[in-house]
Amino acid sequence: MDQIRNILRSYVSSGYNVKVTFRVLGISKNTVKEYVRRAQQSFPDVREALHLDDTHFHELMYREEVRKSDSRQKEFEEHCEAWFVSSPKNSTFLK
């Protein structure tokens, strides 16, 4: 959690510059963009997200990952179900 706050603090202190932030921290540009995007979904100014307590900050930063994993699991299950239904009944799946 502190790492995410550090990313956002660095982003703010760099003058809202993604390039400077990822270079200074030595992390992926996409990582910086993703956490900034998540903070901006709820707050127009990223600094507001930094003032949240840990519980609310965690909910803000991770709520989408839960939805993503749930939807990916559901999609996987649908594909598996379709595959088993369309497979010949006499086939051996594991050898």
In a domain, 35, yes or no: yes
In a domain, 93, yes or no: no
In a domain, 63, yes or no: yes
pLDDT tens per residue, range 21-37 = 999 999 999 999 999 99
**According to the 3-state scheme, what is the secondary structure of the chain?**
CHHHHHHHHHHHHCCCCHHHHHHHHCCCHHHHHHHHHHHHHHCCCHHHHHCCCHHHHHHHHHHHHHHHHHHHHHHHHHHHHHHHHHCCCCCCCCC
Tally of structural domains, the chain: 1
pLDDT tens per residue, range 34-88 = 999 999 988 989 999 999 999 888 888 887 654 555 667 777 777 777 666 665 6
Which domain does 69 fall in, by range? 2-85
In a domain, 68, yes or no: yes
- The pLDDT value given to residue 17: 96
